[in-house]
Amino acid sequence: MSRNTVAGWSFILPNFLGFALLTLLPVVVLFYVAFTNWNVFGVAEWTGTANFRRMWDDSSFWTALRNTVYYAVFHIPLTLAAALGLALLLNRKLRGVRFFRTIAFFPYITSIVAIAVVWNQLFSPEYGPINALLGAVGVDNPPGWTASATWSMPAVIIVGTWRYMGYYMLLFLAGLQTIPAQLYEAAETDGASPWQRFVHVTLPGLRTTTFFVTVLLTIESFKVFDLILVMTGGGPGQSTLVLSQYIYQKGFEENQFGYASAVSIVLFGICFGITVIQFMVNKRRNS
């Protein structure tokens, strides 16, 4: 072994050991446990594909999957639009722009529990200011928000979008700064309207950033957990129960670690599959 190889390994090893021990090994174990019946104590009993077959007849699993997709389908485009809108607005040379950028980023660094408490009070059907406002503008029957099985998911999506838009705005801002100013000048000289400049200069210039943001947002949306756990706990009923919470419930509350691991694999498969498709679409578009 050459001296350089030894040096190289010595740099990689500490990090790799940490990764192997804390990430790789648990993931490998997860794949094994998914095919067993295991309640943490004692030996895991090998049950083959029983956990996956059980999922097929488990209406709660399908409810959780449906709710996860519901959240993702609305949360992704809404956050994308809000983040891009904010980035365009705050990319100008305005007085106090830094202050507004900080404000927009603020929800992302605020404690999730504080967010849940405040938003739940805002959403309170009887005493909340949101419904008071809706009442003031003539809405006779304002929604029940987190207290209603129909409106709980929209409420969570609104808060989710509000929380994450600042972070993705920052990524879009970085992307916007890489677009050469000459392109805008040239477009303006050619008589392009602001909308045409946005469609033909800004959007193509942001393609890499948009792709990156979409991939991150997709994974984040499918894995949503803490926000829903503290805002609604999955309720009322099962109206906001999502896959990651279902995994937690089966694993840590009911001690069915085999089944919880199997559901985790399905969630992993969904995230992985969608990301691969996004990469393929992006590659085709680029070529």
Partner 1 sequence: MKRAIPAVISAATALTLVLAGCGGGDEPVDPNAPVTITLAGWSLASTPEFKTLADGFKATHPNVTVELKEYAPGNDYDTQMITDLAAGTAPDVYVMKNLKNFYTYQSGGQLLDVSDAASGLGSAPGLASYQVDGKAYAVPYRQDSWVLFYNKDLFAKAKVTPPDGSWTWDDYTDAAKRLHTGLKGAGSNATGAYQHTFQSTVQGFALAQTPNADLLSGDFGFLKPYYERSLDLQAAGAQPTFGTAKTNKLTYQAQFGKQQSAMLLMGTWYVATLLNQRTSGDADKFQWGIAPAPQFDKSTTGTSATPVTFGDPTGLGINPKISKSKTAAAKDFLKYAAGPEAGKALAGIGITPAQVTDAVTTSLFGLDGVPQDELSKFAYSKHTIKPENPVSKHTAGLQNLLNETHSAILSDSKGVDEELSKAQTRAKNEVLNQ
Residues that bind partner 1 (CB under 8 A): 39-42, 54, 57-60, 117, 120-121, 123-128, 144-150, 233-239, 241, 249, 252-256
Cβ-based nearer residue to partner 1, 51 or 209: 51
Contact 283, 208 (CB under 8 A): no
Burial classification of residue 193, based on how many CB atoms lie within 10 Å of its CB (0-12 exposed, 13-18 middle, 19 or more buried): exposed
Shortest Cβ distance from residue 12 to partner 1 (Å)?
A: 29
Shortest Cβ distance from residue 40 to partner 1 (Å)?
A: 5
Shortest Cβ distance from residue 82 to partner 1 (Å)?
A: 24
Q: Could you tell me the CA-to-CA distances from 34 to 72, 148, 223 in Å, in that order?
A: 25, 35, 18
User: Quick one: CA dihedral 30, 33, 39, 40, positive or negative?
Assistant: negative
Angle at 189 between CA 203 and CA 184, to 5 degrees: 30
Among 218, 233, 236, 201, residue whose Cα is nearest residue 164 = 218
The C-alpha R_g of the chain, in whole angstroms, comes to 23
The most distant pair of C-alpha atoms in the chain lies apart, rounded to whole Å, by: 79
Cβ-based nearer residue to partner 1, 68 or 91: 68
Cβ-based nearer residue to partner 1, 120 or 218: 120
Output the six-digit token pair for 287.
């070529």
Burial classification of residue 185, based on how many CB atoms lie within 10 Å of its CB (0-12 exposed, 13-18 middle, 19 or more buried): exposed
Shortest Cβ distance from residue 72 to partner 1 (Å)?
A: 22
Q: How far apart are the first and last CA of the chain?
A: 42
Cβ-based nearer residue to partner 1, 255 or 275: 255
Shortest Cβ distance from residue 150 to partner 1 (Å)?
A: 7
Cβ-based nearer residue to partner 1, 124 or 278: 124
Shortest Cβ distance from residue 126 to partner 1 (Å)?
A: 6
Cβ-based nearer residue to partner 1, 132 or 277: 132
